[in-house]
Structure 1
C-alpha cells in the first residue's frame, strides 16, 4: 500500500457560491459518510480543512495575500489515504461529494516522501 493525497478544490471565497447553513449540513453529512467509508476500509490516514486566508511567497520573496487571488477555486482541504495504486486512489477520490458542486475538483497525488526520519 502507498500513501495518496486527495486535494479538494472549490470556490470558498465568492459569497454567492457559499451554501446555506442547511445545505452545508447536508454536504457535511455526505462528506462524513464518504470519509467513514474510507475509514471502514482502513485506508484513511489523516485529513483536515483549510482556512480561507493564506499567504503566497514567491521565489523573489514577494509575499501576497492568498491563497490564489486570480482564481475563485481554492484548496479547501485534503485527506491522506492508503491505496494499492493510482487507480485504487482515483476510485476512492471520484466518490468525493465535493465533486457534486459545479466547478469543484479533486486531485490525487501519490506521496513519495523525500524527507526521512533519521534512525
Structure 2
C-alpha cells in the first residue's frame, strides 16, 4: 500500500457564500465519505481544512499575501489515503463531495524522503 495526498480545490469564495445551515448541509456528505474510507481502512490521515488567507515566501526573503487574489480556485483542504496504485486512489476520489459543488481533487502519491 502507498499513501496518496488528496488536495481539494474549489472556488475561493465558496465557504463565504454559505449560511451556517448550508455549511452543515455540505458537511454531512464529507463525514459520510470519509467514514466510508475509514471503514475500508483507506484513510491514513483525516487531513484538515485550510484558511483562505496566507502568505507566499519567495526567493530573496520576499513575503507577499497569498493565495493570490486573482486566482479563482484555491486549495480548501486535504486528506491522506492508502491505495495500491494511483489509479485506485483516483477511483476512491470519484465519490468526493467537493465534486458535487464544482470543485476538483488532485491526487498525488507521497514519496518518502531519501536519507
TM over 0.5: yes
d(CA) in 2 for partners of 1:95 and 1:7? 14
1:1-119 matched pairs, under 5 angstroms: 1-13=1-13, 18-46=17-45, 47-102=47-102, 104-114=103-113
d(CA) in 2 for partners of 1:14 and 1:92? 23
Runs (4+) of structure 1 moved beyond 4 Å? none
d(CA) in 2 for partners of 1:28 and 1:105? 16
Q: Over aligned residue pairs, what C-alpha RMSD do you find?
A: 1.7
TM-score with structure 1 setting the length: 0.86
On the 8 A contact 1:8/1:98 being kept in 2, the answer is yes
Q: Number of residue pairs matched?
A: 114
Distance 1:115 1:75, change over 3 A: farther
User: Mind listing any 5+ residue stretches in structure 2 that lack a counterpart?
Assistant: none
Deviation at 1:86? 0.7
